Each structure stands twice: as structure tokens, then as C-alpha cells.
Amino acid sequence: MSTKRVLVTGGLGFIGSHTVVALQNEGFEVVIIDNLSNSSIDVLGGITQITGKTPEFENIDLREKAAVKNFFDKYPDIEDVIHFAASKAVGESVTNPLLYYENNLSTLVYLLHELNKKENSKFIFSSSCTVYGQADNLPITENAPVKKAESPYGNTKQIGEEIIQDTCKVNKSFKAISLRYFNPVGAHPTAEIGELPIGTPQNLIPFITQTAIGKRKELSVFGDDYPTKDGTAVRDYIHVMDLAEAHVHALKRLMNANEKDNYEVFNLGTGKGNSVLEVINSFEKVSGEKLPYKIVGRREGDITAAYADTTKANKELKWEANRSLDEALKSAWKWQLVVKKAEEEEN
Ligand code: WQD
């Protein structure tokens, strides 16, 4: 049980809010920084509903260097940070790269600058399997080569990891872990929090649930001519609560262990790959809804297949994903029904 306060940036976002719940469940005190650019203040109430504890919240834009410094002046005890705050839409990053380089990298530098003034700071970075591109071998281990990014978004994850690694090289008292997420999906089982995409969802699962609820006409399946079991692309869909709990394990590793390396990388996935058609079948089974979809051409930049080799995370983090795809899709559907009801009550 720890009462040390942990800073979670982007803590009102999809993965951030679920991680705050997991941290509070483990007895951590959490302070959230979020600028509400891609999240809602209502998420704070959702977290409180689940855990009975309201995290401290600061509405700060991490692009404001002075605001970052003022935060750490106000919270001098905080030396442990889990950093989610970033822009994450692959397509948007292609059309607006400077927004991504500023929002995802200058903010990281300002945070690291403040943490490096402290004796014993620890940092967890929200990275992505996108750094691997189309890996040559499956499942993907942490030793797989990082390939040239397909998008500025992916590039900010690669550069972000390098910035952290270089910082760890010169400051041995600074310990950091990059967590490379595969495909986070689902919602907390209470449906008090979940994914809240703004506008047309880019990701598969929110598009599926919005189609099933009638908000979208039909799902476009981007390609069925891939060299996979059924021709549609394969991904490793990990329940967001499994992912959230992995962050707690990673933080405990940074707090307790004295590894020889003060910088480590872990893949976070289930170790299983599912095709788009398999996801559709699973969703129809758990929701009882027939999903209208059509096969269209491939989406630019998509890879054929990616799923994690989870050996290192299982062993070193003493963590494994134990929730099924069915469970994740069922929680996503339950959350979508709650969102629809709330929208109807608002109108
Ligand atoms: C999954 C599969 C699509 C939508 C990206 C980023 C990753 C992370 C998650 C931020 C693919 C197919 C999708 C649709 C479809 N980013 N699809 N119709 O592209 O694997 O990963 O989002 O957190 O870093 O790279 O996820 O959900 O967009 O797509 O057929 O309407 O579903 O082609 O095969 P992706 P995704």
C-alpha cells in the first residue's frame, strides 16, 4: 500500500483513466494533469464512482513550459510519473505533423527536465507497437527492430523513446520504462468509464460499437486480401483493464527493483492475434447484434499482422493479460449503450 502521490498525465483519457482506477485500487494517491483537449471532466466522476476516491486534478497544457515547472513547485513530493498525454490519431498526424511533434515531444522534454531535478524520479512512457511497423517475425519481441515510422504519430513514439533512453544514459538515478501497447480495447466492467472518441472513430472497436448502436451506417473492413487466415488484417486486442494493471506492475518494478538497466521496454499484448472478421464475429456473439459491414480497399499505412510476444512482460513485470476478446468486446458494447443513453438524456 503506497500513499506516495503518482502523477498521471492524460489521466482523463481512455487508457489513462483506467490506469488511475488500477492505481487507486492498489492504494496509490493519484494526481491527474489533463488539458481536456481529447477527454471530458465527467471522467473524474466516473473514476470516483468506481473507486470512491476522487484524484486531484490540474487542468494544465503540458506545452506550457512554465506551467509544467509550476506544477512540480506545487507538488514537490511527486517523483513518479505515468505519461499518457499525447495526440494519437494516426491519420491526423499525417495532415498536421507539427501539432504532433509539438504536443507529443515538447511536453515530454518539459516533464523530463523537471524530473531530472529530482533525486529518485521514475517515469513510465505510453508507447506503441506501431514502432515495429510490419515486424519480420511474429509474435513480436522487444528485440524486434524499430522500423521507419509510417506516420508522424508513430515517429513521435520512436523519438520519445529515444529521448527517454538518452536521458537515462546520463542520469543513472532516473529510471524509466516504455510500454509498447498493442491494441487497447474495451471498457471498465462497470461502464462508468470507457473510450470516448471525438468525431468519427478511427479505431476498429469504437466504430463497430457505434455502427451497432445505429450511429454509423455500416463498418468498412479495410481489405480482405491480406495473407492471413481470412484475408483481413490481424491485431493483438488487449483489454484496457489488463493494460491498466500492467502500468501498476511497471511502477512497482521501478519503485522496488534495482535493475542493472535504468531503462527498459516491454510489449503489452495478449500474445494472440485476431483478424477483423474474427472481431466482428466475436462482437456479434457477445452483443447479439448483427453488424452491417462491407469489404473495401486497404487503408494506407496499415500492416498485415501484429501480435505480441509477452514472455518478457510476463516474467519481469509478473503480469499477464487474462481477459478475453469476448470480455473486452462485451465491455465495449455495455459502455456504448451507456453513452447512447446519456446522449439521449442530454438531447
Ligand atoms: C485495427 C484493424 C484496420 C477501422 C492504431 C495505431 C496504434 C494505436 C491503435 C493509438 C486494422 C481495421 C479499422 C475500421 C477496419 N494508436 N479497421 N475498419 O491501426 O492497428 O493501430 O490504433 O492508440 O498505435 O497504430 O488500430 O483500430 O485503427 O485498426 O477494418 O473502420 O482494424 O485496418 O486492421 P491499428 P485500428
Question: 200-219 pLDDT, tens per residue?
Answer: 999 999 999 999 999 999 99
Residue 171 Cβ < 6 Å to ligand 1: no
pLDDT band at 115 (very low <50, low <70, confident <90, very high): very high
Residue 128 Cβ < 6 Å to ligand 1: yes
Residue 233 Cβ < 6 Å to ligand 1: yes
Looking from the CA of residue 234, the nearest atom of ligand 1 is 34
Overall fold of domain 5-346: Rossmann fold (3.40.50)
Looking from the CA of residue 154, the nearest atom of ligand 1 is 24
- Minimal-distance CA residue to ligand 1 atom 11: 233
Contacts of 25 (CB under 8 A, 6+ apart): 51
Q: What is the biggest distance separating any 2 CA atoms in the chain, rounded to whole angstroms?
A: 57
Question: 141-185 pLDDT, tens per residue?
Answer: 999 999 999 899 999 999 999 999 999 999 999 999 999 999 999
Contacts of 175 (CB under 8 A, 6+ apart): 121, 122, 123, 168, 254, 259, 262, 263
Q: What is the pLDDT of residue 4?
A: 74
For the chain, give every domain's residue range. 5-346
Question: 58-108 pLDDT, tens per residue?
Answer: 999 999 999 999 999 999 999 999 999 999 998 899 999 999 999 999 999
What's the rounded Cα separation, in Å, for the pair 343 and 347?
6
* Proportion of the chain above pLDDT 70, given as a percent: 99
Residue 12 Cβ < 6 Å to ligand 1: no
CA angle in degrees (0–180, nearest 5) for 329-251-160:
80
Q: To 10 degrees, what angle do helices 204-212 and 276-287 make? A: 40
Give me ligand 1 centre to Cα 59, in Å: 29
pLDDT band at 2 (very low <50, low <70, confident <90, very high): low
Among 100, 110, 132, 153, the one annotated catalytic: 153
What's the rounded Cα separation, in Å, for the pair 173 and 46?
36
Residue 110 annotated in active site: no
Give me ligand 1 centre to Cα 202, in Å: 7
Beta strand pairing status for 293-296 and 263-268?
Answer: unpaired
DSSP codes joined into one string, 142-186: TTSPPPPPSSHHHHHHHHHHHHHHHHHHH-TT-EEEEEEE-EEE-
Q: What is the pLDDT of residue 3?
A: 62
Helix (H) or strand (E) holding 209: helix 204-212
- Minimal-distance CA residue to ligand 1 atom 21: 183
Question: 235-283 pLDDT, tens per residue?
Answer: 999 999 999 999 999 999 999 877 779 999 999 999 999 999 999 999 9
DSSP codes joined into one string, 38-93: SS-THHHHHHHHHHS-PPEEE---TT-HHHHHHHHHH-TT--EEEE--S---HHHH
Note the helical H segments in 261-310: 276-287
